[in-house]
Structure 1
Amino acid sequence: MPPRDNGHEEPVIRDKRKIDPETGQARGASATQEAPAPKAEEAPVDGDLLAERTADLQRLQAEYTNYRRRVERDRVSMREQAVAGTLAELLPVLDDIGRARDHGELTGGFAKVAESLEAVVTKLGLTSFGQKGDPFDPTVHEALMHSYSPDVTEPTAIEVLQPGYRIGERVLRPARVAVAEPTEPSEPAEEPDSSASPASADDDEN
């Protein structure tokens, strides 16, 4: 005999447990997992802008390199000027040492001091120039005496009165020398006029 329908629906029971009692697995785990966020699309790089920024960077690097070179060049130039100024003040002392050596007076402790001083100035780049027999060069020689000599074929320093000094390519003092030039050629003697014939001379006598 079928059950009587009294007009009431049977209650629906919903299992809201998160763990399935039969399998022990979490229910809806795959559904609750969040999908990874989509990656933001990178904006395309403008080729003209990249070239412009690269050119700016290269220009800055070139300017910095030139600046470093200019600073180094100025530093070397200032050092050379300072050294040259100091050595120029010592030239009279070196002249006195040279004269004492020529007269045989450079002996004893004075000789040791002189040798030490000459070694120091040589280490700083000071060199002397000017030798007897050098061709006269007005850029490095100063002529204090002038004469003529048959023994030279061009203007020549026949005596060094004071040596010259230079540091590198810079002349601190020219060599002061006596200069001789070749002997001036003598003027040829005038010869008598031989254009008149003997016959014309006899005519004049008659």
Structure 2
Amino acid sequence: MSEQKRAPETGGDASENGANKGINEATAEAEALATADQEIAGDLAGERQRLEAEVASMKDKFLRAFAEAENIRRRAEKEVADARTYGIASFARDVLNVADDLARALGSLDETAKAAADGPFKSLIEGLELTERGLVKALEKHGIRKIEPKGEKFDPNLHQAMFEVPDPSVPTGTVVQVVQAGFVIGERVLRPAMVGVARGGPKAEAAPGADKEAGAA
């Protein structure tokens, strides 16, 4: 019996090769896409970090600029307030000369002479006293206060000692005489009070809060 020849199975091999080729191409394409995705993800992550750093830098610059603007605003407000309060200091010092003249005019008259005054002379004295009180009120209206420290403890921030008075009946350092009244404007001394200070008595005790008030003045 003669053997029959088999035909070569070329069709199956070709299909299998084509399938393998397609799989390889798909795998390569998938790997290429994955690589591209990783590169894109890396680029996006880097860009995100860059943008976040830029935002942080801009935020810091904004906060610094805002703080500086706030400081400038506060300084401007303080300068305006100081100008409003202390801008009349020079004028006020000139007005104090008028107050001193009135005080000297009234001080030249003792209480006996005032009590004995009559007619036009009495009216003149009353007019001077009224003018002095009105002047003091006008100064107070503009933040200028009179210092009359007689009986108080000497304060070098507010008073200027002109002489010492031996007086053992009062504590040493007590103001016993006011030669010229002082004035303050706001928290500043416009003119210290010129005073006579006692010595020879017991040591004066500092009043509670006196140091704090002196520092503020």
Query: Smaller-chain TM-score range?
Result: 0.5 to 0.7
Equivalent in 94, 101, 104 of residue 99 of structure 1: 104
Partner residue in 2 for 1:63: 68
Aligned positions of 1:112-123 closer than 5 A: 113-123=131-141
**Higher helix fraction (1 or 2):** 2
**Deviations 1:7-60 (Å, cap 9, x if unpaired)?**
xxxxxxxxxxxxxxxxxxxxxxxxxxxxxxxxxxxx986222222222222222
Aligned partners of 1:182, 1:112: CA distance in 2, in Å? Answer: 39
Q: Per the alignment, do residues 183 and 115 of structure 1 end up closer, same or farther by CA in structure 2, a change over 3 Å counting?
A: closer
The secondary structure found in structure 1 opposite 2:149 is: coil
Partner residue in 2 for 1:174: 192
Query: Which range moves more in the overlay, 145-154 or 86-95?
Result: 145-154
**Deviations 1:118-155 (Å, cap 9, x if unpaired)?**
32211111111133222222232222222312212322
Ranges in structure 2 where 5+ consecutive residues have no aligned partner: 1-43, 115-123, 203-217
Contact in 1 for aligned 2:153/2:173 (Cα 8 Å): yes
* CA apart distance, 1:100: 3.8
Give 1:142's aligned amino acid.
Q
Partner residue in 1 for 2:178: 160
Partner residue in 2 for 1:73: 78
Aligned partners of 2:150, 2:133: CA distance in 1, in Å? Answer: 24
* CA apart distance, 1:156: 1.7
* CA apart distance, 1:80: 3.3
Aligned partners of 1:142, 1:112: CA distance in 2, in Å? Answer: 28
Partner residue in 2 for 1:6: none
Q: Per the alignment, do residues 85 and 101 of structure 1 end up closer, same or farther by CA in structure 2, a change over 3 Å counting?
A: same
Aligned partners of 1:118, 1:156: CA distance in 2, in Å? Answer: 25
Choose 1 or 2 for highest CA Rg.
1
Equivalent in 116, 119, 135 of residue 153 of structure 2: 135
* CA apart distance, 1:101: 4.2
Partner residue in 1 for 2:165: 147
Partner residue in 2 for 1:49: 54
Ranges in structure 1 where 5+ consecutive residues have no aligned partner: 1-42, 185-206
